[in-house]
Amino acid sequence: MTTTPLAEMTRIVLAGVRNAGKSSLMNKLFQKDIAIASDTPGTTTDPVTRKIELGKLGMCAITDTAGLDDTSKLGEQRILKTRERLETADVILFVSPGNIKPSADEKELLKWLSEKKLPWIAVLTFGDRPLHPEKEVFFAEQNRIILDNTRDKSSLALISKMEKLEREISKELTPVEGLVKENDLVMLVTPIDLAAPAGRLILPQVETIRDLLDKDCAALLVKEKELYSLYNNLGIKPSLVITDSQAFHKVSADLPEDQPLTSFSILFARKKGDPALFIESLKALRDFPENGRVLVMESCSHHRQADDIGTVKIPRLFRQLVGSKVEFGHSRKIPENPKEWDLIIHCAACMMTQKAMNIRLEIFRKTGVPVLNYGLFLAWANGLLPRALEPFPELKEIYKQSVLTV
């Protein structure tokens, strides 16, 4: 990979009513025509996302959205898409025409922003026209800027304001944060099988390698077939071994019991989701309904191979260890009625932001549906719990307290 993954970028979302100047602002930020700007209401129909480097904020993904007052036939669906982007945003630019009094939709958005407590900036467009008195009062106490899109450098002040929000943005953990120290040697076991993409490594592996280098550690990559020989000829004990979940069983058998071991998927369970929830959900495997239903969820649209982990390997293991009559479903979207499922098994979510993943998890929490992560399930299936949790003392304790008898 040569670019920052989209899921690791700061998400900036432009929101407001139609004809507020969102698309024009997008073009100003990029200093070129990225979005179609027009006086015709509803020009932007679907969210448009582009990447940009913004100083202290680093690589960012800026999304232009449809107007919150879209009254067209597809308006309701477009507004829903806008709301989805707002829910997962790190910074919101509330774009509002400064020369017009606040609309009902703008009042609703301001109320929502106040409740969510997200970092946001009021961007008052049409700065070449007199500011409406009611708009002045509406944004009187907010972090705001008046912008004139007719001026070439009008966006520079806005970028400076966005950079000042850097400390308010919630950052995800990095893959090995808190697990390693400078000069540590970490061994990464990366199988190359049918599921491995041609010519490259999968995203969790790439991100982990980069994180180790950022932390001044050494990363040693090996396939599972060469692990035993290489490990026993190293002459030095790695601080940590991280394996692909699918190779858990062989890797654990080839390593001494005192070798700290975990998986990429467990690293990302901590980074992207709620590992405590996943661990608690292991209890669902005890006395699972004979004709129970399991939904396997993924966050990306990769091409499935013959021995795909989600559609083949996990169902096969589950039926062998839990129940042969269990029904499986597969989805990349949240089910309309989560209660129809007895268990969710979710991928590592490397293609999603933590916020987006937590929105999914909150739905399952509210409906009482247990949720597992690929890595936690495979560690359990291979008899590697609590060993795979030993690098995370707090998670190992949760396991011991709640599900040690699973």
**Neighbour order of strands in the sheet with 144-146:** 48-53, 59-64, 10-15, 91-97, 120-125, 144-146
Asked if domains 6-168 and 185-266 share a fold, the reply is: yes
CA 236, CA 80: separation in Å to the nearest integer? 55
The pLDDT score that the predictor gives to residue 303 is: 55
- Over residues 171-226, the pLDDT tens digits come to 899 999 999 999 999 999 998 765 556 667 888 999 999 999 999 999 999 999 99
The pLDDT score that the predictor gives to residue 148 is: 81
- Over residues 353-403, the pLDDT tens digits come to 999 999 999 999 999 999 999 999 999 999 899 999 999 999 999 999 887
| 384 contacts 286 by C-beta, under 8 angstroms | no
pLDDT interval class at 124 (50, 70, 90): very high
Which of the four CATH numbers 1.10.3720.10, 3.40.50.300, 3.30.565.40, 1.10.260.40 does domain 6-168 have? Answer: 3.40.50.300
**Neighbour order of strands in the sheet with 185-189:** 218-222, 185-189, 240-243, 261-263
Domain residue spans of the chain: 6-168, 185-266, 274-402
* Of 134 and 302, more confident: 134
Which of the four CATH numbers 3.40.430.10, 1.10.287.1260, 3.40.50.11410, 2.40.30.10 does domain 274-402 have? Answer: 3.40.50.11410
- Over residues 223-239, the pLDDT tens digits come to 999 999 999 999 999 99
pLDDT at 406 over 70: no
The pLDDT score that the predictor gives to residue 202 is: 84
- Assign domain 185-266 to its CATH architecture: 3-Layer(aba) Sandwich (3.40)
Q: What angle do CA 213, 215, 184 make, to 5 degrees?
A: 90
- 129 DSSP 8-state letter: S
Distance of CA 8 to the CA centre of its chain: 8
Helix (H, G, I), strand (E, B) or coil at 343: strand
Name the strand (E) or helix (H) holding 93: strand 91-97
| 150 contacts 128 by C-beta, under 8 angstroms | yes
Residue partners of 122: CB distance under 8 A and separation at least 6: 94, 96, 139, 142, 143, 144, 145
- Over residues 132-179, the pLDDT tens digits come to 999 999 998 788 999 886 665 667 888 889 998 888 888 899 999 999
Q: Phi and psi of 95, rounded to 5°?
A: -90, 125
| 173 contacts 211 by C-beta, under 8 angstroms | no
The pLDDT score that the predictor gives to residue 38 is: 47
Report yes or no on whether pTM surpasses 0.85: no
CA 291, CA 314: separation in Å to the nearest integer? 17
Pairing of strands 48-53, 59-64: antiparallel
The pLDDT score that the predictor gives to residue 149 is: 66
- Over residues 322-338, the pLDDT tens digits come to 999 999 999 999 999 99
- Over residues 35-76, the pLDDT tens digits come to 545 454 544 456 789 998 888 888 999 999 988 887 666 667
CA 348, CA 163: separation in Å to the nearest integer? 30
Q: Which residues on neighbouring strands pair with residue 263, listed in sequence order?
A: 243
CA 184, CA 82: separation in Å to the nearest integer? 44
